[in-house]
């Protein structure tokens, strides 16, 4: 609290004046704190976190095994793989675009890697690099068509989904391939496991944590993050201020595709199989995670922490409904209801914020 000159405030002769001045300044300092708390409570991330806590409590009460070390370990085995894709999708959605081909890229990348190793005799490290280069090419094609030709990202990436999935099925004749399971550096790097007490996790969790921290820094503190949000909010205004909108979007498409391919490779190493149909439907599930977390579908507002919460929500639902006896096929019903509820809640919060 700032110091006050008592004499200037008249406190030498009137102590009450000094006291009133102190209280006035204290109240003024308290107002920004109250505004921050109010803003936090009205934020989409906060509402998503509340929903996550409620879901965890409901499933834990319904089945005591929900919070058991074994079940938590099972949930955390798969969550980082989808979460890694969701990080890229968050940045892309914040810029006002999205990618429907990520699920197909998730399946194609490890298939190409394993074909190169098994049929081409290529070293596993070189094959992994080739798989990532393929992902870069797919993302670049998406980005170039969207930005330079001006076709909607929905149509472009939907077409790419069909091309990539068809390619994966064609080169494998629809059969899954045995993944690389020989002990070595790359297996440990991508699919190694470790234990913390009675919990067992995979190294994909470290990948997810590290990439999440990097994405948080980019979106919140780096100039690139400001560019991404500006492009999503008003592209023309951003370009007028010198933001290279097309270049940023192209690189975001590339990043999203690379993260999808990386997640696919991690999954293939973990389960020792590369399937051409792996990742089917993941594009919608990833978008759901991002939207439920509070990122705007229309662009301009993104939150990595919200995406992490969204990923936890959807994986908890998928796991919890099976434990309490609900057929797994009903998962999509729950996801649809949650997405609708979150969209409505976010819209209401935005209206209230605008009024305030």
> What domains lie within the chain, and their CATH numbers?
45-349 (1.10.3470)
**Pairwise CA distance, residues 86 & 209, whole Å:** 13
pLDDT for residue 39: 60
Helix (H) or strand (E) holding 201: strand 199-202
**Pairwise CA distance, residues 338 & 104, whole Å:** 25
**Pairwise CA distance, residues 75 & 85, whole Å:** 16
pLDDT tens sequence across 189-229: 888 888 888 889 999 999 999 999 999 999 999 999 999 99
**Pairwise CA distance, residues 172 & 72, whole Å:** 34
**Pairwise CA distance, residues 313 & 307, whole Å:** 10
Q: pTM of this prediction?
A: 0.85
**Pairwise CA distance, residues 92 & 1, whole Å:** 42
pLDDT for residue 271: 87
Q: Which residues are 194's β-sheet partners? A: 201
Sign of the Cα pseudo-torsion (162, 163, 164, 167, in order): positive
Sign of the Cα pseudo-torsion (7, 9, 14, 18, in order): negative
**Pairwise CA distance, residues 259 & 270, whole Å:** 16
pLDDT for residue 37: 61
Q: How far is CA 314 from CA 5, 269, 304, 340, 343, in A?
A: 57, 23, 15, 14, 15
Given a cut of 50, the residues of the chain with pLDDT beneath it are 1-13, 17-29, 31
- Encoding tokens for residue 254? 């590339």
pLDDT for residue 337: 80
The beta-carbon contacts of 159-166 under 8 Å, at least 24 apart in sequence, are 160/100, 160/101, 160/104, 161/100, 161/101, 161/103, 161/104, 161/283, 162/104, 164/101, 164/104, 164/105, 164/107, 164/108, 164/138, 165/104, 165/107, 165/108, 165/276, 165/277, 165/280
pLDDT tens sequence across 251-287: 999 999 999 999 999 999 988 888 999 999 899 889 9
């Amino acid at each position: 609290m700032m110091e006050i000159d008592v004499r200037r405030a008249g406190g030498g002769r009137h102590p009450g004046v000094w006291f009133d001045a102190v209280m006035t300044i204290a109240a003024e300092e308290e107002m920004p704190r109250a505004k921050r708390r109010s803003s936090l409570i009205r934020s989409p991330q906060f509402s998503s976190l509340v929903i996550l806590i409620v879901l965890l409590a409901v499933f834990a009460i319904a089945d005591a095994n929900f919070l058991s070390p074994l079940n938590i370990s099972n949930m955390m085995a798969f969550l980082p793989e989808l979460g890694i894709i969701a990080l890229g999708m968050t940045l892309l959605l914040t810029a006002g675009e999205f990618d429907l081909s990520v699920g197909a890229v998730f399946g194609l990348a490890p298939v190409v890697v394993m074909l190169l190793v098994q049929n081409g005799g290529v070293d596993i490290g070189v094959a992994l690099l080739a798989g990532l280069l393929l992902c870069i090419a797919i993302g670049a094609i998406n980005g170039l068509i969207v930005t330079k030709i001006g076709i909607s990202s929905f149509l472009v990436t939907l077409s790419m989904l069909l091309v990539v999935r068809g390619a994966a099925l064609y080169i494998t004749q629809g059969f899954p391939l045995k993944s690389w399971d020989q002990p070595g550096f790359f297996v440990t790097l991508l699919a190694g496991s470790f234990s913390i007490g009675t919990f067992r996790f995979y190294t994909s969790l470290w990948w997810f944590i590290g990439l999440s921290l990097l994405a948080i820094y980019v979106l919140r503190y780096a100039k690139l993050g400001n560019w991404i949000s500006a492009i999503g909010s008003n592209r023309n205004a951003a370009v007028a201020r010198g933001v290279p909108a097309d270049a940023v979007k192209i690189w975001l498409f590339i990043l999203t595709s690379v993260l999808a391919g990386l997640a696919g490779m991690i999954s293939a190493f973990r389960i020792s199989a590369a399937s051409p149909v792996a990742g089917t439907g993941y594009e919608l599930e990833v978008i759901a995670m991002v939207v439920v977390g509070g990122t705007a579908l229309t662009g301009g507002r993104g939150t990595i922490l919200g995406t992490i919460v969204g990923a936890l929500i959807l994986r908890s639902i998928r796991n919890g409904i099976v434990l309490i006896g609900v057929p797994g096929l009903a998962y999509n019903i729950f996801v649809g209801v949650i997405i609708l509820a979150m969209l409505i809640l976010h819209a209401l919060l935005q209206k209230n914020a605008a009024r305030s």
